[in-house]
Amino acid sequence: MLAALSLSAVAFAPSCTTPTGVSRPAIHSSSPMMSAEDVSRRQLFARAGAAIFGAAMAESASAKAGQFGKIGIFGMEDMSSPYVPGGPKSGPESTYGYAKTAGEFLANGYAADVSREKALFDESARRFKTLQPKIDSKTWWFVRDELRVQAYSMRESMLALNKVNSDPAAVGKAYKKFWSEVESFDLACKKKEQALANKEYQDVLSALDAYSKLV
């Protein structure tokens, strides 16, 4: 590999020829801006860099499938991996490479704490229940925009609540029922049919109350 790099470097190196085509040695400038010492120092760093690069390429070329190349520079190993050697690097008991744990995992029980999600759900539910005046005034664009503003955070908070619920089948069914009613309500608003929108809105509120009782 190093030989190939050396040959490629020579191939791109400028050569100096006489008018008759006979090669002659290149003439070094005697300018104080580029002394012989500066040239030799630059060549030294270039050769050192080429050697490191060649060693890295050789290591990568010989690695097995699924492995990363390893470079050891200034005492650092495995620069391709952010983990130190040791214990599990994934899963609930992960130590991210460290062989032993020290104390309790800080994230223990994080999935069971849904207080934040419950607060987000309550706020979205409150805003769903304020849409009647907009339906009465036929402000359809506002109603449909509000549904979309609340949809993302409300779905996420409801899914988090579903995961910790003691009756996942019942809460899952109520979740699907609610969003089915929301889609029907949105379609009625899109059609700008007030009587249908009022009917679908009441169905949405009924489904929302049924879900809320489970969480």
Q: What is the pLDDT of residues 122-154, one digit of tens each?
A: 999 999 999 999 999 999 999 999 999 999 899
Domains of the chain: 116-212 (1.20.120.290)
Q: List alpha helices for 33-139, DSSP H.
A: 36-62, 115-128, 132-136
The confidence band for 1, taking pLDDT boundaries of 50, 70 and 90, is: very low
Q: What is the pLDDT, as a whole number, of residue 42?
A: 73
- Please say whether the beta carbons of 83 and 97 come within 8 A: yes
Q: What is the pLDDT, as a whole number, of residue 47?
A: 77
- Measured over the CA atoms of residue 40, residue 43, residue 49 and residue 54, the dihedral's sign is negative
Q: What is the pLDDT of residues 156-172, one digit of tens each?
A: 999 999 999 999 999 99
Q: What is the pLDDT of residues 51-69, one digit of tens each?
A: 666 655 655 555 444 444 5
210 pLDDT higher than 90: yes
Instruction: Find residue 23's DSSP bridge partners.
Output: 17
Q: Which of 30-39, 41-50, 183-192 has the highest mean pLDDT?
A: 183-192
